[in-house]
């Protein structure tokens, strides 16, 4: 399975937490409709540093349980720390999105966020596996992903366009579909699930130091030979100059969510 392209720097962890806060505020009713409730058994697959898992654990409460699964041990370590700070219990486990190692047919809610776009050619296999984890008779699979064709970074220096094109080439080489969010409903129904909801919205994000997902993937682009350390230094200088000039950078991007139940 292709490597995930985003580095887990402190800035990225902060970005995940901001995104999780915005996601819960916007999607709370959908989470509840899908099965996020006191006492629920919930799986957060591809959890990253656990920002969403911690919020789900607060909802599940002491009588429920959340399992956070990721291939990245460093991400799971961060998830454990965030859970401890929040005073909630999150079980962490190493696994991939199409082979989590979790017990089949035992979860009220299985959530997967911003993973499918990074796993070219494996999208349906991943959703098929998630469907087996949901309990028969109403367990839900909840997906969230992007349409990168909509991405904009207003106020960014001209260097952003070059950086963004290299980022898209990285995903083209890996066979990733950066518009996968527009196909979430098809993936769920093809897995034999009954679609309940399919919605889209535009994120508007302005965290300090915002440089977009292309910047977060800079190390992966170096490994792929798409950029050089000199390119990174040049882009960093351009962004620092813009930040010094007081330019406010806003990120815009379309995001889609869908969930379906297991009969």
Say how many CA atoms lie within 13 Å of 133 toward its Cβ: 28
Q: Is 69:47 a contact under the CB 8 Å cutoff? A: yes
Residue 222 CA: distances (Å) to CA of 26, 229, 231: 35, 7, 9
- Residue positions counted in the chain: 263
Q: What is the pLDDT of residue 128?
A: 98
Round to whole Å and give the CA distance between 28 and 4. Answer: 27
- Identify the bridge partners of residue 111 per DSSP, sorted by sequence position: 44, 142
Ramachandran angles phi, psi of 30, nearest 5°:
-70, -40
Q: What is the pLDDT of residue 169?
A: 96
Ramachandran angles phi, psi of 43, nearest 5°:
-115, 125
Q: Is the pLDDT of residue 5 over 50?
A: no
pLDDT, tens only, 80-101: 999 998 999 999 999 999 999 9
For the residues 115-135, what does the mean pLDDT come to?
96
pLDDT, tens only, 217-242: 999 999 999 999 999 999 999 999 98
Please name each of the domains of the chain with its CATH number: 10-148+176-202+252-261 (3.40.50.150)
pLDDT, tens only, 137-169: 999 999 999 999 999 989 889 999 999 999 999
Q: Is the pLDDT of residue 4 over 80?
A: no
Q: Is the pLDDT of residue 14 over 80?
A: no
For residue 244, name the pLDDT band (cuts at 50, 70, 90). confident
Q: Is 108:139 a contact under the CB 8 Å cutoff? A: yes
- End-to-end Cα, the chain, rounded Å: 29
The rounded mean pLDDT for the chain is 92
Round to whole Å and give the CA distance between 249 and 238. Answer: 13
Q: What is the pLDDT of residue 17?
A: 80
For residue 7, name the pLDDT band (cuts at 50, 70, 90). very low
> Which runs of consecutive H residues, i.e. helices, occur in 35-106?
51-60, 73-86
For the residues 175-198, what does the mean pLDDT come to?
97
Q: Which carries the bigger pLDDT value, residue 2 or residue 54? A: 54
């Amino acid at each position: 399975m292709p490597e995930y392209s985003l580095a887990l720097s402190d800035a990225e962890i902060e970005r995940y937490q901001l995104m999780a806060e915005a996601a819960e505020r916007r999607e709370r009713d959908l989470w509840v409709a899908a099965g996020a409730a006191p006492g629920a058994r919930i799986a957060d697959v591809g959890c990253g540093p656990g920002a969403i898992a911690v919020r789900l654990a607060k909802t599940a409460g002491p009588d429920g349980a959340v399992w956070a699964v990721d291939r990245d041990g460093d991400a799971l370590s961060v998830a454990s720390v965030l859970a401890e700070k929040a005073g909630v219990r999150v079980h962490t486990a190493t696994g991939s999105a199409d082979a989590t190692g979790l017990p089949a047919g035992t979860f009220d809610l299985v959530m997967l966020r911003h993973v499918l776009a990074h796993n070219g050619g494996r999208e349906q296999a991943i959703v098929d596996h998630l469907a087996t984890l949901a309990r028969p008779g109403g367990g839900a699979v909840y997906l969230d992903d992007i349409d990168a064709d909509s991405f904009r970074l207003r106020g960014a220096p001209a260097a952003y366009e070059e950086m963004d094109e290299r980022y898209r080439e990285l995903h083209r080489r890996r066979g990733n579909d950066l518009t996968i969010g527009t196909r979430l409903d098809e993936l769920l129904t093809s897995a034999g699930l009954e679609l309940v909801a399919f919605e889209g919205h535009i994120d508007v994000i302005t965290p300090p130091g915002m440089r977009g997902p292309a910047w977060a993937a800079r190390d992966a682009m170096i490994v792929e030979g798409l950029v050089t350390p000199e390119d990174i230094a040049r882009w960093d200088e351009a962004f620092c100059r813009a930040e010094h000039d007081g330019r406010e950078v806003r990120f815009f991007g379309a995001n889609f969510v869908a969930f379906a139940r297991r009969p």
